[in-house]
Chain A
C-alpha cells in the first residue's frame, strides 16, 4: 500500500483540481487489481470498518512510549492520528515493503470492534510513517484530503477515456454480483473487447439516451417511472432486456413489459435496432395540451427554416453578405430543419 499512502500524501498538499485528477488517474493506471479497487472505495468513502476511537489510538501510543515524550510530541504536532503515525516505534527491517492495500483492507474488514485495537497495533508494527498515517485515517474514518467522489469518478473516466456521465450511470446501475465489483479485474482501455458485451452496453446507452430525450421533448420529468411495451424484439434484444432489467429501471426509469401488447391511446414510440418500445402516455401528461404546444413549436420552427431557406436562395445575400453571416444562416437553417424533424417525430409519437 506504499502507492496508496503516497497518493494520499500528495493529494493532501496539491491544491489544483487538474493536478489531483492526474495523480488519481495515474494511480489507477499503474496500480494492479485489486488494490486500485480498494483505493477507489476508500477515496469515495465507500469503505467502513469497526471504527477506532481517538481515545483507543491514544492509549495504543501511550502503551508504547514514555508518556512525557508522547505529550511533547502530541503538543508539537497537534493532531492525534499524525502524532501516532510518527512516534510509533519501528525497528529497522520490520516494515513490510510489499504489504498490499487489499491485505490491509481485508484484515480490517474481518475485525470486530473488540479486537480492533490489537489488530491495528499489529498492522502498524509492519508499516512505515506514510502508511501508518493512511491506515489510521482509514480506521478512524474520513480521509479528509480534499477529494470529492465526483473528482474520483472523473479520474476513472479519464482512465477509460469515457464521459464521466457513463461512470456515474454505471456506478449505481449495476445489479447484484457474486463478488464486490471493487475486487474485480479492471478493464484495460486497450484490451480485446468482447463484441457482445460492447454491443449490449451500447444498446443500453442508446435506449437510455433516446428515452431521456423523448421525455425531455414532451416535458416529462426525468424521474418519472414509465412502462415500456416491447414490439418486434429479436432473441438477442429480448436477452439484453432480461439482463438489463434493473439497469433500465434505474437509468431509463422504464419498467419493461415483454409479454403484453401496449394499450390503445397516445404513447411515445422509441425505436432502437429492430425493436419498438411503446411508452403509454395516458395519465402521464395532458396529451391535448402537449400536442398543441408541439404543433405551435413546429410551426414556428418551420417558418424560421423557410425564411432562412429563402435568404440562402437569394444570390445577392450569399455573394455580398459577410461570409460569417452566410455561414451562420446556413447553420441556423440546418438547426431549424433538425428541430422541425424532431418535433414532427414527437407529434407522431403522440399518435
Chain B
C-alpha cells in the first residue's frame, strides 16, 4: 500500500521542466535529462539529447526527422491507451488532438491521477486523432489562448475566405503562413475538404514533415514544391510556407503575393497588422477560451495547474468556478511554435 502523496510531490516544476520523482522521469523537459516523456513533436516540447525517450511512434518519428537518428540514447514507443509502469507510477498516453502523434500523459500514483495535457485542442482536425477527455484529480492545462477574446470559430469558414480570395484575385499568388508541423498539413487537408483539388505548393522547409504525414495515410492531394516554379505559373495558386517566410525576401518569386496566416493569434487585429498580414485566417491547433473552460470542467479535476500562455486569466476563471488553481512556472515553452522557427530555418537551409 502506497501512502497517498500530495499531487505536487508526484509532479513538480523544476528548471528542466515537469519532474516526476516517484516515476524517475521528466515530461517535455527543456534540458537534457536521463528519462523524458514527450507529449508531441513541436521543438519547444521535444528536444534532442535525452538519455531515454518515451513517446508515441509518430512523435519519435518526427523527432528523428528533425534531429537525426541519434536524437536520444534510446527510445520506446507507446500506443494511445497503453499503460507502462515507471518506478512507483503508471503512465498512460491519450490523444491530445494537437498534431499528429500528440498525447496527454496521465500519471497515476496510488489513487491520484494527474493529467499533463501538453498542447491540445478539442476542435476537429482531419490530420490527427481527436482529443480525449481523461477524468483526473489534477489537470495540467496550457493557456496559449487563455483569454476570452480567443474564440477560433470553425476552420472551414476561414478556408472559405481563403478560397474566395483566390477566386477574386486569379492573377495573384496566395501565401499561407502555417507552422511546419501540424498546422500546414491541417490547412492543406481542410482546403482539400472544401473541394479544392488543384496542386498546392509548399516551401522546402515543410516538405519532410508533410511527406511524413502522407506516409501515415493522410491524403493531402497533389503537393508540389514552389522552388523552381516560374513566377507567372504561380498566379492563382496557394502556397504553404513557414510564418517567417511569408513576408520576407522569399516572396519575391511570387506574383503580387497575398500574405495570409493561419493562426489563433489572427483573431486580434493588432497581431495581424504587426505581422503585415492581409488575409488573417483564424485556425489554431490550440484550444480556444471556450475549449479550455469546457475541457477543464469535463475532466472533473478539482485542481488545475496552468502553464504557458495567459495563465492569470484562466487561473482566475478556475477559482471563480470553485476550483483550486495555480499557475505553473515552467519556462521555455513558446507561443504556438514560435520556437519552431529556428528549426525550420535550419531545415530550409539543409
- Spell out A's residues near B (CB within 8 Å): 6, 10, 12-15, 19, 22-23, 26, 65-66, 68-70, 72-73, 76-79, 82-83, 86-87, 90, 128-129
Contacts and interface: CB of A to CB of B under 8 A. Distances in A.
B214 interface: no
Q: Which 4 A-B pairs have the closest CB atoms?
A: A86-B149, A72-B313, A87-B148, A73-B149
A22 B161 contact: no
B153 A69 contact: no
A13 B277 contact: yes
A79 B280 CA distance: 18
Given A26-B168, A69-B313, A72-B313, A12 B269 contact: yes
Contacts of B273: 13
Given A66-B320, A68-B316, A69-B313, A13 B149 contact: no
Nearest to B319: A68
Contacts of B149: 73, 76-77, 83, 86-87
B310 interface: yes
A277 B148 CA distance: 69
Contacts of A23: 168
Given A69-B148, A82-B269, 5 more contacts: A19-B169, A66-B316, A76-B149, A83-B149, A128-B153
Interface residues of B, number: 26
B278 interface: yes
A82 B316 contact: no
A26 B272 CA distance: 24
Given A22-B168, A86-B149, A13 B280 contact: yes
A5 to B, nearest CB: 11
Nearest to A2: B157
Nearest to A6: B161
A346 B250 CA distance: 62
A36 to B, nearest CB: 16
B146 to A, nearest CB: 9
A72 B147 contact: yes
B229 interface: no
A236 to B, nearest CB: 44
Contacts of B279: 10, 13
Interface of B: 147-151, 153, 161, 165, 168-169, 267-270, 272-273, 277-280, 310, 312-313, 316-317, 320
Contacts of B280: 13
B151 A129 contact: yes
A14 B150 CA distance: 23
17 contacts: A12-B269, A13-B277, A13-B279, A22-B169, A26-B168, A66-B317, A69-B316, A72-B147, A72-B310, A73-B148, A76-B149, A82-B268, A82-B269, A86-B150, A86-B267, A87-B149, A90-B151
A344 to B, nearest CB: 49
A65 B169 contact: no
Nearest to A14: B278
Contact of B268 (A26, A65, A66, A77): A77
A14 B256 CA distance: 12
Contacts of A6: 161
Contacts of A128: 153
Contact of B153 (A22, A87, A129): A129
A345 B37 CA distance: 95
Contacts of B268: 76-77, 82, 86
Contacts of B269: 12, 79, 82
Nearest to B317: A69
A129 B158 CA distance: 13
B270 A77 contact: yes
Contacts of A69: 147-148, 313, 316-317
A109 B175 CA distance: 41
B161 A65 contact: no
Contacts of A68: 313, 316
Contacts of A77: 149, 268, 270
A17 B149 CA distance: 31
Contact of A13 (B168, B272, B316): B272
Contacts of A73: 147-149, 313
Q: Chain B CB within 10 Å — which of A19, A65, A72, A129 has the most?
A: A72
Contacts of B277: 13
